[in-house]
Amino acid sequence: MTGALRKIIHVDMDAFYASVEQRDDPHLRGQPLAVAWGGKRSVVLTASYEARPYGVRSAMPLYRALERCPGLRVVEPRFDAYREVSRQIRAVFHTYTALVEPLSLDEAYLDVSDPRTGGPSATRIAQAIKAQIRAHTGLNATAGVSVNKFLAKLASGMNKPDGLTVILPAQVHDLLAALPVEDFHGIGPATAAKLAGMGIRTGADLRATPERTLHARFGVLGSHFWRIAHGIDDRPVEPDRPHKSVGTEETYADDLTTVHAVQSRLPTLASGVERRLERAGLAARTVVLKLRYDDRSVVTRRVTLPAPVNGAGDLERAAASLLTPELLAGRTVRLAGITAMGLTPAGTPTTQPRLFTVPSDTNAD
Ligand code: TTP
Ligand code: MG
């Protein structure tokens, strides 16, 4: 490897939804717990560490989880609570670096090669982050520290819960040689089966395979496998994952048959979009109104604004400008949605747009 080594931390909250539920309800503490929606087809979103020895896992049908663990407690998810914790942990991350790449509500990569504070040791920073997450949220996180994203994530997976694992460059060779290919992040069961068919079962096998062979079979992903088997991963920590669009939609049990009825839903839809834009720190140049009718046909109309907007009022006005009587003529609306596109980082508060470009129609089935 050339140049200075980077310092990357991967942070992942432990049994995230379940830990939040146990924190907020003392009766659930120490209990095998699954978080799942009610209903027959329900699947486990996550399980507390007390439930895991029974074999209860994320994405397992709930009935199977209950077969495996008859004493399993089950609660429904509370996404507002999880989002709040997510906001708190991101604030902790940002005290150390602007280079934070969230992967989900409970997981992020941080590049602390040049931290704002906390000194040069990435391990110390990871310890401090775990302690601050604990202090601010009452929850445990697991961290992995290494020289790239792949190795940092591998490290955090090695010792859960409440773990802190460091993979030093000198350890990489032996560690990866022994690793089964399915434990490489990005190699799923289907790819692992194909690799097995080529006689490739471990990191050592991957490494012994010419890159061009892997590329011929799996394309650019194949090259990526070869590189990570050598511990090489130059992917940067990308703080602003480009979102293409942000939207909210609602389905109605009682069909909407008038412009007025649809209009009355726009404030709620616009608020939903505003919340999402705010969370992502984005503003939108293009606003799309989508309607689905009782015959399942869909109409979208869009308007591009002279300046990006992110406030619910502006989003609602833009959507309302697209809602014309002929959209409702003799038809009933089952679903309405507002989508924001043409996203840019939100700057100073945006003002109400005054000039609309000519709206264009798109009709689709
Ligand atoms: P994970 O970090 O994969 O799992 P976890 O935090 O529950 O447990 P671990 O200690 O192993 O990290 O996922 C974070 C949250 O995302 C999890 O609490 C629930 C949700 N989730 C789903 O909704 N469906 C899924 O299939 C998975 C894997 C997670
Ligand atoms: Mg987690």
Q: Tell me the CA–centroid distance for residue 42 and ligand 2, in Å.
A: 20
| Per-residue model confidence (pLDDT) at position 279 | 80
CB burial readout 292-325, b (16+ within 10 A) else e: bbeeeeebbbbbbbeebbbbbebbbbbbbbbbee
Annotated catalytic residue 107: yes
CA-nearest residue, atom 24 of ligand 1:
45
| Per-residue model confidence (pLDDT) at position 3 | 60
Phi and psi, residue 143, nearest 5°? -125, 150
Torsion sign (Cα): 18, 21, 26, 28: negative
- Indicate if ligand 1 lies below 6 Å from the C-beta of 82: no
| Per-residue model confidence (pLDDT) at position 352 | 39
In which residue ranges of the chain is pLDDT below 50?
1-2, 348-365
CA-nearest residue, atom 12 of ligand 1:
14
Q: Longest Cα pair distance anywhere in the chain, in angstroms?
A: 71
Tens of pLDDT along 32-66?
999 998 877 788 999 999 999 999 999 899 999 99
pTM (global) more than 0.75: no
**C-alpha–C-alpha distance, residues 108 and 238, integer Å:** 10
| Per-residue model confidence (pLDDT) at position 360 | 44
Residues 290, 262 contacting (CB under 8 angstroms): no
Question: Quick one: which H or E segment has residue 117?
Answer: none
Catalytic residue among 21, 50, 107, 316: 107
- Using DSSP bridges, classify how beta strands 73-75 and 100-104 pair: parallel, antiparallel or unpaired: unpaired
**C-alpha–C-alpha distance, residues 88 and 99, integer Å:** 16
Q: Tell me the CA–centroid distance for residue 12 and ligand 2, in Å.
A: 5
Phi and psi, residue 43, nearest 5°? -120, 155
Question: Quick one: which H or E segment has residue 355?
Answer: none
| Per-residue model confidence (pLDDT) at position 361 | 45
- 361 Cβ contact partners less than 8 Å away, ≥ 6 residues apart: 299, 300, 301
| Per-residue model confidence (pLDDT) at position 118 | 87
